[in-house]
C-alpha cells in the first residue's frame, strides 16, 4: 500500500441470537433442518399473520448492550425495511431503525504493538434474518428455503474507527469473544451465525473528510474479512491513483477468486421506505429490569484478563490469549484450582502443548481429549519432579491419543524420572570410564566438553535422569 493513504473501516456484524424459537414466531431456529420445515405461517408471511416479539431475544440484546457499556434504550421501536427479494417473505424486514435497543457503546482492542485502542459501537439493533436462495441443481431457477427467515439477529454497527484490516479482525474477534462469553450467539461462522459486512474507504493521510465508501458483503470468516478488505483497499487506491473516483456501491467478496465485485442487484432499489411497524408496539424496558439484568452478566474478557495479570501474575499476553475464549479461560482456571497454583506453568501447558493438540485435531477446548483433571494430574507430576518437561510432553501426547491419565502412562512406559543420586552417579562413572580421552581434555581446561558429558549421561538413561541432578553431580565428579 502506498504510504500516503489512510484506510477507514466500519463493520456491521450480524450475530444470530441463540434463542430456541424465532424472533417473531414459535418456529425452531435449529440449524440444518430439511428445507422449509421450520417455516411456519408467520415466517412465510402468510396473509393475516402477525409478529409477537421473543422475550429472550430482547434479553440477549440488552445483555450485549450492558457488556459494551452502551445505553440500553428505555424505549426502542421496530420499523419495516421495504424491499423485494425472494428470501424475504413479507417484502419487508422487521428491523430497528431510528430507535435501536443498544446505543453508543465501546470495546477495547489490542493492536499488534500491544497497545490498546477504543472502538466505538454506534448501535446494535434487533432484526429478523432472511431465508436462503439455493442455486444448485436447478437449471435457470433458484430454490427458496425459509428455515432461517425470522431467526433473531443482533446487528452490531461500529464507528468508522478501524484503520486497517488487522484492526478490523481484532475488533471482530473481540465482538466474537463477547457474544460467546454472554452466551447470546454460538459464533459459528461456517453456519453463518456470525458474519459481517465491511464499509471500506480510503483518504489522503491527514485529511479529515471521509472518502466514498463501498460496502463489502458476505464476509463469513476472519480470514475472508482480512483478505477482502486488503483487496478492496488496493482496488480503491488503484482507482484513485489512476485518476478515477470511487462509486458508492455494494460489493460481494468472492473467496474463490479472492476479489470483490459489484452487486448490481442490490443497487437498483435502495430506497427502503422505513416506517414504524404498525404490527408492533414500542419496546419499553424499565430501568429496574435493565439493572437486574446487569447483575446476571458473567465476568467479561477484559476483566478476566486484568484479574489473570493482577491475581495470577500472568504476563498480559498470556492473560489476553486465555481470556479471548471463555471456555479456554474456564479450562485454565479449573486446572489452577486442581493443581492449587502454578499459574504460569499451567498457562504454558494450556496455551502451548494442549492448544497445539487441539489445533492439530481441529477441536474446541470443550472437546479436549485431555480433561482438566488429567492435565492437572500431569502438571502435578512435573511439580513433584516425577517428570521432566520433555518427558511430560511425551506423556501428554500419549494421554491425548489413548485417553488415559498421566500416572498410567508414566507407569506403562516406565517414564519416571531418575532422581536417585547413587544411580545417576553410577551412570556418570561408567561414561567417564568409556571416554578417557575427553575426560583428560576436560580436565586440562576444555570446559566446553561439559555438554558432551551431559549428553552422554542423558543418552545412557534414556533421557530420564533429572537434568538438575546430572549437572550438579557431573561438575563434582569431572573435577576429580
Partner 1 sequence: MTLTRHDVENIARLARLQIREDQLEPFAGSLSRIIDFVEQLGSAATDQVEPMAHPLQGMVQRLREDQVEASDQRDLFQQNAPEVAAGLYLVPRVIE
Partner 2 sequence: MSFHALTAAELGRALRRREVSSLELTDHFLARIEGSGTRLNAFVTVTAERARADARRADAEIAAGRGGPLTGVPIAHKDIFCTAGILTTCSSRMLANFTSPYDATVVEKLTAAGTVLLGKTNMDEFAMGSSNETSYFGPVRNPWDEARVPGGSSGGSAAAVAAGLAPAATGTDTGGSIRQPAALTGLTGIKPTYGRVSRYGMIAFASSLDQAGVLARSAEDAALLLSAMSGFDPRDSTSVEQPVPDYHAGLEAPLAGLRVGVIREFFGEGLEAGTAAAVTGALDQFKRLGAEVVEVSLPALPLSVPTYYVVAPAECSSNLSRFDGIRFGYRCESPRDLYDLYTRSRGEGFGDEVKRRIMTGTYVLSAGYYDAYYLKAQKVRSLIAADFQRAFESVDLLFGPTAPTPAFGIGEKVDDPVTMYLNDIYTIGANLAGLPALSAPCGLVDGLPVGFQLIGPQFSESRLLSATHAYQRETDWHRRLPPAWA
Burial class of residue 355 in the structure, from the number of CB atoms within 10 Å of its CB (0-12 exposed, 13-18 middle, 19+ buried): middle
Nearest CB to partner 1, comparing residues 276 and 463? 276
> Whole-number minimum distance, CB 266 to partner 2, in Å?
13
Residue choice 34, 287, 422, 479 for contact with partner 1 (CB under 8 A) = 34
> Whole-number minimum distance, CB 59 to partner 1, in Å?
9
Between CA 15 and CA 176 the distance in angstroms is 9
Q: Decide: 473 and 424 in contact? Cβ < 8 Å.
A: yes
Residue 48 binds to partner 2 (criterion: CB under 8 A): yes
> Whole-number minimum distance, CB 132 to partner 2, in Å?
14
CA distances from 114 to 20, 65, 170, 300, 317 (A): 39, 26, 12, 20, 8
CA distances from 307 to 295, 303, 314, 355, 469 (A): 19, 6, 9, 22, 37
# binding residues, partner 2 (CB under 8 A):
28
Q: Answer with the entry of partner 1, partner 2, none that 28 interacts with (C-beta below 5 to 8 A by kind).
A: partner 1
> Whole-number minimum distance, CB 93 to partner 2, in Å?
11
- Give buried/exposed letters for 203-233 (b at 16+ CB in 10 A, else e): beeeeeeebebbbbbbbbebebbbbbbbbbb
Residue 182 binds to partner 1 (criterion: CB under 8 A): no
User: If residue 11 lies in a helix (H) or strand (E), which one and from where to where?
Assistant: strand 5-16
Q: Can you name the residues that pair with 162 across neighbouring β-strands?
A: 9
**Looking only at residues 88 through 117 of this chain, which bind partner 2 when binding is defined by CB under 8 A?**
89-92
> Whole-number minimum distance, CB 36 to partner 2, in Å?
9
**Looking only at residues 277 through 336 of this chain, which bind partner 2 when binding is defined by CB under 8 A?**
278-281
Residue choice 94, 102, 144, 415 for contact with partner 1 (CB under 8 A) = 144
Of 170-178, 270-278, 360-368, 436-444, the window that binds partner 2 (rule: CB under 8 A) is 270-278
Q: Answer with the entry of partner 1, partner 2, none that 311 interacts with (C-beta below 5 to 8 A by kind).
A: none
- Provide CB contacts within 8 A for 284, sequence distance 6+: 74, 75
Residue choice 271, 286, 384, 447 for contact with partner 2 (CB under 8 A) = 271
Residue 41 binds to partner 2 (criterion: CB under 8 A): yes
Residue choice 55, 84, 287, 448 for contact with partner 2 (CB under 8 A) = 84
> Whole-number minimum distance, CB 317 to partner 2, in Å?
50
Spell out, one character per residue from 242 to 281, where the chain touches partner 1: x when CB under 8 A holds, - when not: ----------x----------x-x---x-x-x--x-x-xx
Residue 47 binds to partner 2 (criterion: CB under 8 A): yes
Q: How crowded is the C-beta side of 145, counted as CA atoms within 13 Å?
A: 14
Residue choice 71, 104, 120, 134 for contact with partner 1 (CB under 8 A) = 134
Q: Answer with the entry of partner 2, partner 1, none that 455 interacts with (C-beta below 5 to 8 A by kind).
A: none
Residue located via cell numbers 417484502: 91
Q: Which of 325, 72, 307 is nearest to 187 (CA)?
A: 325
Helix (H, G, I), strand (E, B) or coil at 316: helix
Residue choice 6, 31, 33, 49 for contact with partner 2 (CB under 8 A) = 49
Rounded (5°) CA angle 468-474-477 = 145
Nearest CB to partner 1, comparing residues 28 and 471? 28
Residue 80 binds to partner 2 (criterion: CB under 8 A): yes
# binding residues, partner 1 (CB under 8 A):
53
Between CA 428 and CA 461 the distance in angstroms is 10
Q: Decide: 396 and 371 in contact? Cβ < 8 Å.
A: no
Four-CA torsion 180, 186, 191, 192, nearest 10 degrees: -60
Q: Which of 61, 63, 54 is nearest to 20 (CA)?
A: 54
Between CA 141 and CA 364 the distance in angstroms is 39
Residue choice 35, 45, 192, 255 for contact with partner 2 (CB under 8 A) = 45
Nearest CB to partner 2, comparing residues 90 and 251? 90
Between CA 369 and CA 103 the distance in angstroms is 42
Residue choice 2, 133, 366, 373 for contact with partner 1 (CB under 8 A) = 133
CA distances from 202 to 118, 167, 217 (A): 20, 15, 18
> Whole-number minimum distance, CB 397 to partner 1, in Å?
43
> Whole-number minimum distance, CB 279 to partner 1, in Å?
10
Q: Decide: 15 and 193 in contact? Cβ < 8 Å.
A: yes
Q: Answer with the entry of partner 2, partner 1, none that 138 interacts with (C-beta below 5 to 8 A by kind).
A: partner 1
Q: Can you name the residues that pair with 127 across neighbouring β-strands?
A: 95, 153
C-beta atoms surrounding 461 within 10 Å: 16
Spell out, one character per residue from 44 to 83, where the chain touches partner 1: x when CB under 8 A holds, - when not: x-x-----xxxxxxx------------------xx-----
Q: Which of 457, 453, 386, 391 is nearest to 426 (CA)?
A: 457
Q: Applying CB under 8 A, which residues contact partner 1?
A: 19-21, 25-28, 34-41, 44, 46, 52-58, 77-78, 84-86, 133-135, 138, 140-146, 252, 263, 265, 269, 271, 273, 276, 278, 280-284
Q: Applying CB under 8 A, which residues contact partner 2?
A: 41, 44-53, 80, 82, 84, 86, 89-92, 144, 271, 273-275, 278-281
Amino acid at each position: 500500500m502506498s504510504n500516503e493513504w489512510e484506510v477507514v473501516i466500519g463493520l456491521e456484524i450480524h450475530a444470530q441470537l441463540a434463542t430456541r424459537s424465532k424472533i417473531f414466531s414459535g418456529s425452531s431456529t435449529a440449524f440444518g433442518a430439511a428445507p422449509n420445515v421450520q417455516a411456519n405461517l408467520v415466517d412465510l408471511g402468510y396473509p393475516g399473520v402477525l409478529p409477537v416479539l421473543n422475550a429472550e431475544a430482547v434479553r440477549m440484546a440488552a445483555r450485549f448492550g450492558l457488556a459494551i457499556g452502551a445505553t440500553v434504550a428505555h424505549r426502542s421501536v421496530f420499523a419495516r425495511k421495504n424491499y423485494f427479494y425472494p428470501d424475504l417473505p413479507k417484502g419487508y424486514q422487521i428491523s430497528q431503525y431510528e430507535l435501536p435497543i443498544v446505543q453508543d457503546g465501546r470495546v477495547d482492542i489490542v493492536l499488534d504493538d500491544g497497545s490498546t485502542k477504543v472502538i466505538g459501537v454506534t448501535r446494535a439493533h434487533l432484526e429478523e434474518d432472511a431465508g436462503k436462495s439455493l442455486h444448485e441443481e436447478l437449471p435457470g431457477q433458484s430454490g427458496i428455503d425459509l428455515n432461517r427467515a425470522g431467526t433473531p439477529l443482533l446487528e452490531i454497527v461500529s464507528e468508522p474507527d478501524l484503520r486497517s484490516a488487522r484492526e478490523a479482525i481484532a475488533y471482530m474477534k473481540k465482538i466474537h469473544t463477547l457474544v460467546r462469553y454472554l452466551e447470546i450467539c454460538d459464533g459459528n461462522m461456517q453456519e453463518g451465525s456470525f458474519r459481517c459486512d465491511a464499509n471500506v474507504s480510503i483518504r489522503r493521510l491527514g485529511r479529515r473528510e471521509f472518502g466514498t465508501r463501498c460496502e463489502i458483503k458476505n464476509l463469513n470468516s476472519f480470514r475472508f474479512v482480512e483478505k477482502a478488505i486488503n483487496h478492496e483497499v488496493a482496488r480503491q487506491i488503484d482507482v484513485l491513483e489512476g485518476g478515477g473516483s470511487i462509486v458508492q456501491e455494494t460489493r460481494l467478496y468472492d473467496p474463490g477468486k479472492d476479489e470483490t465485485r459489484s452487486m448490481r442487484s442490490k443497487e437498483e432499489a435502495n430506497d427502503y421506505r422505513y416506517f414504524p411497524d404498525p404490527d408492533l408496539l414500542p419496546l419499553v424496558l424499565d430501568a429496574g429490569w435493565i439493572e437486574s439484568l446487569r447483575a446476571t452478566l458473567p465476568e467479561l474478557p477484559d476483566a478476566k484478563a486484568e484479574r489473570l495479570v493482577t491475581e495470577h501474575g500472568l504476563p498480559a499476553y498470556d492473560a489476553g490469549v486465555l481470556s479471548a475464549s471463555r471456555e479456554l479461560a474456564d479450562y485454565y482456571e479449573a486446572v489452577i484450582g486442581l493443581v492449587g497454583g502454578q499459574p504460569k506453568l499451567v498457562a504454558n501447558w494450556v496455551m502451548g502443548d494442549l492448544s497445539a493438540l487441539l489445533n492439530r485435531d481441529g477441536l474446541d477446548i470443550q472437546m479436549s481429549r485431555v480433561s482438566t483433571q488429567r492435565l492437572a494430574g500431569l502438571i502435578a507430576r512435573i511439580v513433584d519432579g516425577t517428570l521432566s518437561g520433555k518427558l511430560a510432553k511425551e506423556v501428554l501426547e500419549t494421554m491425548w491419543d489413548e485417553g488415559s491419565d498421566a500416572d498410567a502412562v508414566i507407569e506403562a512406559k516406565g517414564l519416571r524420572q531418575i532422581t536417585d543420586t547413587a544411580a545417576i552417579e553410577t551412570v556418570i562413572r561408567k561414561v567417564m570410564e568409556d571416554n578417557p580421552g575427553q575426560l583428560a581434555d576436560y580436565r586440562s581446561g576444555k570446559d566446553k566438553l561439559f555438554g558432551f558429558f551431559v549428553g552422554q549421561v542423558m543418552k545412557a538413561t534414556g533421557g530420564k535422569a533429572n537434568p538438575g541432578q546430572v549437572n550438579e553431580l557431573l561438575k563434582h565428579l569431572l573435577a576429580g
